[in-house]
Chain A
Amino acid sequence: MSGRRIFSRPARLAAVAPYLWMALFFLVPFGFVLKISLSQTAIAQPPYLPVFDLTQGWTAIKATLAALSLDNFRLLISDNLYVVSYLRSLVVAMVSTSILLVIGYPIAYGMARLPRKWQSIAMMLVIVPFWTSFLIRIYAWINILQHDGLLNKILLALHLVSAPLVWLSTDSAMYLGIVYSYLPFMILPLYATLAKMDPALLEAAGDLGASPRRAFWLVTFPLSLPGVGAGILLCFIPIVGEFVIPDLLAGSNSLMIGQTLWLEFFTNKDWPVASAAAVVLLVLLVAPMLFYDRLQRRQLEGGR
């Protein structure tokens, strides 16, 4: 019998503890979100009507089921605020992911073409900001973008503008912040596929008479598509639910769904509506997340 099979049984046992942990702290909580999204708002602590009381037996369960309501979801559809927030989140995520791809691809491509020795240094340089606090990096931009900040000073000194421009609390600032924060997430998967590519393929294309530009579009780009997909998903999904960046950098006249949910929860203390908003957000993201999950699994488990 091969050692591989003997090894796999205790290895499977290793799954028990993390399995239980994730089920308890990741899966079960969604049940509570779903439950509370279906219950009525109440002025109480916690601010929702308790809808589940197993001590009362079957009658309680029946009463509970009867008390469930879709009111919160109806509110989400009928209230313009939410519809606008969802749409804005999707638009912001799409626009910033496109910008990220356009900026990130040339950087990843440049990295992949560096001499081997330099590649690991370049990769380190891209990873370091990912480790550095994300809040700090946004704060660094507030320093630069504020009314009498560095950017306006430089623009004034160069006589490009005659009066300081307003940068903070604008959509451009928000896009800048998002692109800045997520750039490593776009570069790394792109770099990973580009670096794995066999240079002989490009040589073959060149030998067959393709110009470097043509070889890039015919060979390199199509082969890098898995990396493009991973980068897009890795950025798009979290950006849709982003809270901190729009809250600190964007104006307050239109909110992303993460902000709306936060406001509903912390300011209005309407937990059922906030939960319903979370459920809808999750539903919106299920398709891209399943896709991402498949991609991850193929990459980590298939490629060994």
Chain B
Amino acid sequence: MMAGASNRLSSFNVVSLVLGLAFLYLPIVILVIYSFNASRLVTVWGGWSLRWYQEFFNDRAMIEAGLMSLRVAAASATIATLLGTLAAVALSRGETFRGRTLFSGMLYAPLVMPEVITGLSLLLLFVAVNAERGFWTVTIAHTTLTLCFVAVVVQSRLGALDRSLEEAAMDLGCGPARAFVAVTLPLILPAIAAGWMLAFTLSLDDVVIASFTTGPGSATLPIRIYSEVRLGVKPEINAICTLIIGLIAVIIVLASLVSKLTSARGESAAPL
């Protein structure tokens, strides 16, 4: 009786939800549909066709950039997941330690830091130490950015965990390392997996930092797409974008399956 009036969804709530989601999704849907357009004019519908996908698979430079991006994304996501998880463990289980404020500041700042600053500062470092720019410099740059995202995702999972589980394991005679591997790690694994996938997609998406830190001859896919897009709309770009969206959709489905599987084991799903 009392939950009635105050908790029911008003028509205003429904309308804003529907409009909001339509706003978020319509442009992407339109882009995907037009990637199958046979016409060269992006805006004239000439029937369904896979022509632009063929064009992409014959475009050596684009394919190479795509492979470069995938390699950078996989490498940086892996290193970032390792470091980010360590950082999250230190922050949520390490109680207080010297330099903790600086540490957490360094981890949160890149989340909002404008990319032009991060990119420029890393490039100046690489130039100063005379590093050859290419795969590794971009990978390091992306690792630096994405490990912060991994740390936040894993840390919020660690914060939600019941710590008495770890304590019980140690009361039963486990050392701290053993308790971590046997109890904590399996519980935060979904968050670690989600963190890896988030890091992977963030790396796959970045134009600005990659533009600063890459060298001649090793452009990533977003850099190439970006330079094409500046010249105008090309149907081939629609096809590439659709492929990337498909790849990311697969990753998201995997991520949600992972968290479903673990929530079926009686835990709450990972927050991301």
Contacts and interface: CB of A to CB of B under 8 A. Distances in A.
Interface centre among B21, B198, B238 (most CB of A within 10 A): B21
Nearest to B155: A300
A15 B114 contact: no
B120 interface: yes
Contact of B43 (A28, A150, A275): A150
Given A128-B252, A133-B204, A135-B225, A9 B176 contact: yes
A195 to B, nearest CB: 12
B155 to A, nearest CB: 5
A136 B248 CA distance: 12
* A-side interface mostly: helix
A111 B6 CA distance: 15
Interface stretch (B50-58, B60-68, B144-152, B185-193): B144-152
Contacts of A248: 229-230
Interface string B66-105: 0000000000000000111011011111110101000111
Contact of B103 (A15, A109, A153, A285): A15
Contacts of A275: 120, 124
B20 A103 contact: yes
Interface in A11-59: 11-15, 17-19, 21-23, 25-30, 32-33, 36, 46
Contacts of B24: 125-126, 129, 180, 183-184
B205 A133 contact: yes
B125 A139 contact: no
B146 to A, nearest CB: 12
Contact count band on A? 35 or more
A36 B124 contact: yes
B20 A107 contact: yes
A253 interface: no
Given A111-B17, A139-B229, A3 B171 contact: yes
Contacts of B170: 3, 6-7
Given A32-B125, A143-B31, A14 B90 contact: yes
Interface residues of B, number: 109
Contact of B90 (A15, A126, A153): A15
A203 B6 contact: yes
B122 A10 contact: no
Contacts of B251: 131
B116 interface: yes
A289 to B, nearest CB: 6
B229 A142 contact: yes
B109 interface: yes
B93 A237 contact: no
Interface in A201-246: 202-203, 205-207, 212, 215, 233-234, 237-238, 240-244
Interface in A252-282: 258, 261-262, 265-266, 271, 274-275, 278, 281-282
B157 to A, nearest CB: 11
B167 interface: yes
B16 A261 contact: no
B167 A2 contact: yes
B31 A139 contact: yes
A133 B222 contact: yes
Contact of B30 (A144, A203, A271): A144
Q: Which 3 A-B pairs have the closest CB atoms?
A: A241-B114, A15-B90, A29-B121
27 contacts: A3-B169, A3-B171, A4-B167, A6-B176, A19-B103, A29-B125, A110-B16, A129-B28, A132-B28, A133-B201, A136-B225, A138-B229, A140-B30, A143-B233, A146-B43, A149-B43, A199-B3, A205-B6, A234-B112, A241-B114, A243-B116, A243-B208, A247-B230, A266-B211, A293-B109, A297-B104, A301-B92
Interface of A: 2-15, 17-19, 21-23, 25-30, 32-33, 36, 46, 103, 106-107, 109-111, 113-114, 120, 122, 124-129, 131-144, 146, 148-150, 153, 180, 183-184, 187, 199, 202-203, 205-207, 212, 215, 233-234, 237-238, 240-244, 247-248, 258, 261-262, 265-266, 271, 274-275, 278, 281-282, 285, 289, 292-293, 296-297, 300-301, 303-304
